Copies of this chain bind each other. A is one copy, B any other.
Amino acid sequence: MDNKRELFQIMTRRFGLLNKNCCTIGGCDISPIQSHILYEVDRQHKPSMQQIANTLGTDITTFSRQIQALIKMNLLNKTPDPSDRRVYTLSLTPEGKYVATTIDKQMNDYLDEAFSYMSLADQEMVLRSIHLLNEAMAKSDKCCRPIMG
């Protein structure tokens, strides 16, 4: 129980695999990165491209091309911000919303299944723990930041 890194390494590997294998909806294959993008666009209110790219820690040039791909797949809208014409705000198309919702549901189903192997009390504890962990990591400035020095 002493080596934190071991615990986290294995946990994050499992979720990486989960992300990898959870993203074929209808005809289209969604890569993990694209899934993350859809997720964040759904969560944030009319985000700009920079905003999402920073959140996800991707280079803006790579991000720009990912956005182009998602627009071509008809999952995303890019609209010029009237108050600052350098900025484009992102939003989900109805199809994009559907895909995002479906992925969300799939992920939750998978997680529910995994959680079913724990007692209710443990389930509670685990969720509370991850919540605490996320808060702690948000406070940290050396570790786990969207943008690192």
Contact = CB atoms under 8 A, between A and B. Distances in A.
Contacts of A129: 122, 125-126, 128-130
Contacts of A8: 15, 107, 111, 130
A108 interface: yes
Interface centre among A8, A21, A146 (most CB of B within 10 A): A8
Q: Is chain A's binding surface mostly helix, strand, loop or mixed?
A: helix
A142 interface: yes
A54 to B, nearest CB: 11
Number of copies: 2
A46 interface: no
Interface residues of A, number: 56
Contacts of A140: 110, 113-114, 117
Contacts of A61: none
A28 interface: no
A144 interface: yes
A115 interface: yes
Interface of A: 1, 3-5, 7-21, 36, 39, 56-57, 104, 107-108, 110-115, 117-118, 122, 125-137, 139-140, 142-146, 148
Given A5-B111, A125-B125, 13 more contacts: A1-B131, A4-B111, A7-B131, A9-B36, A11-B137, A16-B57, A110-B142, A117-B136, A117-B139, A117-B140, A118-B136, A125-B132, A126-B130
